[in-house]
Chains A and B, each alone.
Chain A
Amino acid sequence: MNELPQQLANGLILGAMYGLIAIGYTMVYGIVQLINFAHGEIFMVGGFGALTIYLWMPDGFALGAAIPLMILGGVIVSVAVATAAERFAYRPLRTAPRLAPLITAIGLSIVLQQVVWMWYPDAKKDHPFPQFEGGPIEILGANIQRGDLFVLIAAPLCMFALGLFVTKTRSGRGMQATAQDPDTAKLMGINTDRIIVMAFAIGAAFAAIAAVAYGLKNGQVGFRMGFLMGLKAFTAAVLGGIGNIYGAMLGGVCLGVAEALATGYIGDIPGMDLFGGGAWKDVWAFSLLILVLLFRPQGLLGERVADRA
């Protein structure tokens, strides 16, 4: 059996999830030049928010009907945590040296992990997440799990909505203006504080949707899941060109597909069997990142930001 379609599908699903999280990194960076390392944890609390809603549902409630409510719950928790973080941790440091908010973000990430570990009931272990019943669906020679369909539908919808929002609405255009030049934007009457909060909130909402996708796909959520996913999503954002929302999704998909293909095929190349397989997939993914950055330092779709960085 030809496994290429399967591996491509695996990569696409994983990559779409990376992309959804990467949006949060890229939007916040585009506007305040902050690498919000706590974003992985925003993703994680979204997963727990969605799970909590599900656990409150009466028994026998269909998962399909519960999903919109779970997304809503996850989004509320993520957005609340992200905006609180912006207000109390990042805003006081907005004029501080670049390193201060960066370190704050790392600290915040640890705090959020430990808060969930300590106070969410039984969160010291991974929590089972509800999953769809029924077998996989075959599309173009690849088996797609029912849970994975969620991210394949949600990711393009989210991107479409975000694209419309940024280009067509007043707030979206304000966001673009703030990203280009915050001071001038302020002089033109744009409430930049509100725009910054909005960037954090949109990123958090996308992260929460990704967290629901993660739970449906892997059947579990845990307090540590944000770290690795956050790191990968950050990589995806850089790969696609940090600051560019479409770049984030493209970077995510490239990263996911690269990981899947590296796992599936590198080991089969003669003489490379030591460097293939699941253990080396990250090495190959990051090699790809370095290669892209060598030839296009601004990332795949990035604009030149030398004057800002």
Chain B
Amino acid sequence: MRQRSLIAITAALAAGSLTLTACGSRDDSSSGGGDKTTVVIGVDAPLTGDLSALGLGIQNSADLAVKTANKSEYVKGVEFKLEPLDDQAQPSVGQQNAQKFISDKDVLGVVGPLNSSVSQQMQKPFADAGLTQISPANTGTELTQGDGWKTGNSVRQFKTFFRTATTDEVQGAFAAEYLYSKAGIKKVYLIDDQKTYGAGLAASFKANYTKLGGKIVGSDHVNPDDRDFNSVVAKIKKTGAEALYYGGEYPAAAPLSQQLKDSGQNIPLMGGDGIYSGEFPKLNKKADGDLATSVGKPVEQLDSAKEFIKNYEAGGYKDAYEAYGGLTYDATWAIIEAVKIAVEGNDGKVPSDGRKAVLDAMAKVKFDGVTGTISFDEFGDTTNTMMTAYKVENSAWTPEYSASPKLG
């Protein structure tokens, strides 16, 4: 009996994994349209699961960049194709996706992922394969600079990893400066969700805030899947905190903020780009006064972004571009630029070692993108450190203050 059920399980698992592989390999045959060479740009993001709103925004924005390049024949003789894979926000799945991209020779660059923890599993395989990866959303400082960044010993980790998002270091510093100097809040309670992103952001905020003279009156960690925080909130009350800083993402931050205010504590919750989503004020009826920092100037305020928004709307995408739309467009466009540089340096043809040529070209990439001027420093980080603080007013995020924070 037992043996038979074991066989059944094994069969089910085998069938399952076969189906998954079948899904992934459907686009393997490259369709060389006419005399054009097909260059595939991979996208890795959570397309299902509770972060799928952000992930689908990433997929659509990358799709828009690819379509725009194809339409204007931005790189002559090259037809770009997008290959999106779903990582379900899980590191192990991300690693499988990385292998899938590597084994497809037409893939010359990958955009993604959303989560820093997923990225950690993808960096090494990509570096070994020499495949360029640009994340629009990873803010974990150690991803580019290694664990030594806190002590000033930054060492580039992987030569193939770039990002258009700025680091937690910059974001934490900016949040601390805004909260302490602009908002005049001197006592903060600190909570994170223990993920790479949330914990890193909270740590960076704490370091910068205490350096300025602010006081962390207490701290706690929560599980990102929890929606009931009443017990945590009850603890904050006795500390006399004037604000709550949360390192994490909006699905948990929204009920956390509301339960905080429901408990009679009228103090703002502040977070990073993970809570800067249109969903946050929708899920949280008492969001007014809450704060968030996000990368770049508000997309709606930049002339360069107006065209992006217009094209995105004209593209008829079902899901919104969300927090990382502009950064994803820029990340995808950076790969397109790199391909252009590589092709133009090779008499108008895609070089035989396309991956190496694209990677070499990354250092030369510089263009005016949706979120500002895009180029990468010696660590692969974006040189665009402009940040904006937003506040919820009448249930909508409104920009308060933009600056490039001083580091160190």
Asked whether B225 lies within 8 Å of A278 as measured between CB atoms, the reply is no
Q: CB of B1 within 8 A of chain A?
A: yes
Asked whether A14 lies within 8 Å of B194 as measured between CB atoms, the reply is no
Q: CB of A131 within 8 A of chain B?
A: yes
From A99, A135, A220, A277, give the contact of B220 (CB < 8 A): A277
- Whether A277 contacts B251 in the complex (CB less than 8 A), given A7-B234, A219-B258, A219-B283, comes out as no
Asked whether A278 lies within 8 Å of B229 as measured between CB atoms, the reply is yes
Binding site for A on B (CB under 8 A): 1, 4-5, 8-9, 12, 48-50, 52-53, 56, 191, 194, 220-223, 225-232, 234-235, 237-238, 251, 254-255, 258, 262-264, 279, 282-285, 319
Closest CB of chain A to B358's CB: distance in Å? 32
Q: CB of A244 within 8 A of chain B?
A: no
Extra contacts besides A220-B254, A222-B251, A278-B221 (6): CB < 8 Å: A14-B230, A97-B1, A98-B5, A126-B50, A224-B49, A278-B191
From B1, B232, B282, give the contact of A128 (CB < 8 A): B282
Interface 0/1 of A111-141, CB less than 8 Å to B? 0001001000000111010010001100000
- Whether A278 contacts B283 in the complex (CB less than 8 A), given A117-B48, A143-B263, A264-B234, comes out as no
Binding site for B on A (CB under 8 A): 1, 3, 6-7, 10-11, 13-14, 97-100, 103, 114, 117, 124-126, 128, 131, 135-136, 143, 145, 214, 217-220, 222, 224-225, 227-228, 259-260, 263-264, 267, 276-282
Q: List 30 A-B contacts (CB under 8 A).
A: A1-B238, A3-B237, A7-B231, A10-B234, A13-B230, A14-B230, A97-B1, A97-B4, A103-B8, A125-B53, A126-B251, A126-B254, A128-B283, A131-B285, A135-B264, A143-B263, A214-B227, A219-B258, A219-B285, A220-B283, A224-B49, A228-B225, A228-B226, A263-B232, A278-B222, A278-B226, A278-B231, A279-B221, A279-B223, A281-B231
Which residue on chain A has the smallest CB distance to residue B233?
A10
- Residues on the B chain within 8 Å of A281, using CB: 231
Asked whether A279 lies within 8 Å of B9 as measured between CB atoms, the reply is no
Which residue on chain A has the smallest CB distance to residue B55?
A124
Which residue on chain A has the smallest CB distance to residue B255?
A218
Which residue on chain A has the smallest CB distance to residue B229?
A278
From A3, A126, A278, give the contact of B223 (CB < 8 A): A278
Give the complex CA separation of A3 and B235 in angstroms.
8
Closest CB of chain A to B182's CB: distance in Å? 29
Closest CB of chain B to A272's CB: distance in Å? 13
For chains A and B in complex, what number of residue pairs have CB atoms within 8 angstroms?
118
Chain A CB count within 10 A is highest, among B56, B228, B319, for B228
Which residue on chain B has the smallest CB distance to residue A222?
B50
Which residue on chain A has the smallest CB distance to residue B277?
A125
Give the complex CA separation of A135 and B48 in angstroms.
36
Asked whether A278 lies within 8 Å of B238 as measured between CB atoms, the reply is no
- Residues on the A chain within 8 Å of B255, using CB: 218-220
- Residues on the A chain within 8 Å of B56, using CB: 124
Give the complex CA separation of A100 and B7 in angstroms.
11
- Residues on the B chain within 8 Å of A260, using CB: 230-231
Chain B CB count within 10 A is highest, among A125, A259, A281, for A125
Give the complex CA separation of A214 and B221 in angstroms.
22
Give the complex CA separation of A98 and B282 in angstroms.
44
- Residues on the A chain within 8 Å of B220, using CB: 263, 267, 276-279
Asked whether A103 lies within 8 Å of B231 as measured between CB atoms, the reply is no
- Residues on the B chain within 8 Å of A143, using CB: 262-264
Give the complex CA separation of A219 and B1 in angstroms.
47
Which residue on chain B has the smallest CB distance to residue A98?
B5
Give the complex CA separation of A98 and B5 in angstroms.
9
- Residues on the B chain within 8 Å of A97, using CB: 1, 4-5
Give the complex CA separation of A125 and B9 in angstroms.
32
From B49, B234, B258, give the contact of A6 (CB < 8 A): B234
Closest CB of chain A to B386's CB: distance in Å? 28
- Residues on the B chain within 8 Å of A217, using CB: 228
- Residues on the B chain within 8 Å of A6, using CB: 230, 234, 263
Give the complex CA separation of A224 and B284 in angstroms.
18
Give the complex CA separation of A274 and B238 in angstroms.
19
Asked whether B9 lies within 8 Å of A103 as measured between CB atoms, the reply is yes
Which residue on chain B has the smallest CB distance to residue A261?
B231
Closest CB of chain A to B276's CB: distance in Å? 15
Closest CB of chain A to B90's CB: distance in Å? 13
From B221, B254, B262, give the contact of A136 (CB < 8 A): B262
- Residues on the A chain within 8 Å of B234, using CB: 3, 6-7, 10, 264
Asked whether B285 lies within 8 Å of A100 as measured between CB atoms, the reply is no
Which residue on chain A has the smallest CB distance to residue B225?
A228
From A124, A135, A224, A267, give the contact of B319 (CB < 8 A): A124
Give the complex CA separation of A218 and B251 in angstroms.
11
Give the complex CA separation of A154 and B226 in angstroms.
23
Which residue on chain A has the smallest CB distance to residue B322?
A125
Give the complex CA separation of A136 and B258 in angstroms.
13
Closest CB of chain B to A139's CB: distance in Å? 14
Asked whether A99 lies within 8 Å of B8 as measured between CB atoms, the reply is yes
Asked whether B222 lies within 8 Å of A218 as measured between CB atoms, the reply is no
Give the complex CA separation of A124 and B322 in angstroms.
13
- Residues on the A chain within 8 Å of B8, using CB: 99-100, 103
Asked whether B53 lies within 8 Å of A218 as measured between CB atoms, the reply is no
Closest CB of chain B to A267's CB: distance in Å? 7
Chain B CB count within 10 A is highest, among A117, A135, A277, for A277
- Residues on the B chain within 8 Å of A14, using CB: 228, 230
Closest CB of chain B to A88's CB: distance in Å? 18
Which residue on chain A has the smallest CB distance to residue B221?
A279
Asked whether B226 lies within 8 Å of A219 as measured between CB atoms, the reply is no
Closest CB of chain A to B218's CB: distance in Å? 9
Closest CB of chain B to A159's CB: distance in Å? 21
Asked whether B223 lies within 8 Å of A224 as measured between CB atoms, the reply is no
Nearest first, the 7 closest Cβ-Cβ pairs linking A and B are A279-B221, A263-B231, A278-B222, A99-B5, A277-B220, A10-B230, A260-B231
